[in-house]
Amino acid sequence: MASQDKIAVEILESIKETPYACSSLDRLSGGSANFTYRGTLLSALPSGEPTVVIKHTEPYVATMPSFALDAVRSRYESAALTAMHTFTLVSESGITVKTPYMYLFNESTHNQIIQDFPNSVELKRYMQAHTLSESESRRLGVALGSWTKRFHGWGDKSEQEHLKRDIEQSKMSSELKFFVNYGRLEETVDLFPDVLGRCRDMFKKIADRMNKELKDTDNPDLKLIHGDFWTGNILLADKPLASLSHNLDLFVVDWELTQVAHPACDLGQMFAELFLLKHFRNIDAALYFLSSFMRGYGSIDDEFAYRVAIQFGVHLIVWPCRVTGWGEKEEIQKVVEIGRDFIEHAWRKNKAWFKGGVLHDVFYTDKP
């Protein structure tokens, strides 16, 4: 067995009497909150698939045991993925966006057995390893944007009301999302006082507004969202697009932060991560993808657009300075400054400032 750790042994024991009994588990890289493995099945699935993904959740972050995090998150991810079985798949320009199939969830062990996508890679890594043409990038962006719009609409239907209320009552995911973004916003001023010093009062007002929004259960603008929607949670085959058939699958994974919040949270996070690929790695495909995403998603009103821009700016301020690998301190400070400008102009509702910029299509996209 590739991984001899105690958790892997316990997982193998707990699933040995199920149709998903495995001969071995291999720890997967990527992700930090859970213990995630690829399991080699003793007997292949009826579909012929020889492997599954097994996600084990503890009441803490797997890579940081001192960070407590309620294991109930596994139940919400399982519930969301199971509900997504009813989501009608639609292809856009030969691209089908899918979610993993939830085979089995054991609430007592917090083990999820999920569909595997071998030989796939995260969109973030894909864009850095493969050269995408403008047309390929736009094709991908339109497809994911169209799917996201349909998902946000699907989550607002009466059939998902029970799921929505169940997740909403917990507040765990939305409160965590608030903490790692808006909760860190004001404290980041002290890391970059020359750039952010003038913004302290504004940041406090923004955080207060977002915190109040979380408590407003009657707000019709709050929808069921993915909650951790970024380029690291979109998978596709690790091959040049030109070498693949016309039909291509994208997979939206890691649903444990599913929550009831403003859809701008999903869009702003995704767009910020795409922008970082352009800013630090000079990947033009990322911006083609971003603008075409909005072609697929369709037009939104100005208030929605300002929310996207604020989330975009907040992400640029609080995340690149806290994760390794993006750039040197001077480069990070520059992106913090960019994030500040987006927040300031969105907060002041200066729509004209966004025309012709990175988020132009967020404010000025026509309906597809």
Which tens digit of pLDDT belongs to each residue from 138-171?
Answer: 999 999 999 999 999 999 999 999 999 889 888 8
Q: Is residue 95 part of a domain?
A: no
pLDDT in tens, 270-284: 999 999 999 999 999
**Whether 210 and 323 share a structural domain:** yes
Q: How far apart are CA 327 and CA 357, in angstroms?
A: 23
Amino acid at 116: D
Residues of the chain with pLDDT > 70: what percent? 97
Report pLDDT digits (tens) over 239-251: 988 766 668 999 9
Note whether 105 and 132 are same-domain residues: no
Question: Do 146 and 105 have their domain in common?
Answer: no
| Inside any domain, residue 89 | no
**45 and 112, same domain (yes or no):** yes
Does 185 reside within a domain? yes
Q: What is the pLDDT of residues 189-203, one digit of tens each?
A: 999 999 999 999 999
- pTM (two decimals): 0.94
Question: What tens digit of pLDDT does each residue of 117-138 get?
Answer: 999 999 999 999 999 999 999 9
* Distances 99 to 47, 95, 153 between C-alpha atoms, Å: 17, 13, 16
> Would the CA dihedral through 214, 172, 159, 146 be positive or negative?
positive
Task: Find the domain containing 323 and state its range.
Answer: 118-364
Tokens found for residue 108: 């007592």
Are residues 112 and 142 both part of a single domain? no
C-alpha separations of 352 from 288, 302, 364 in Å: 21, 11, 10
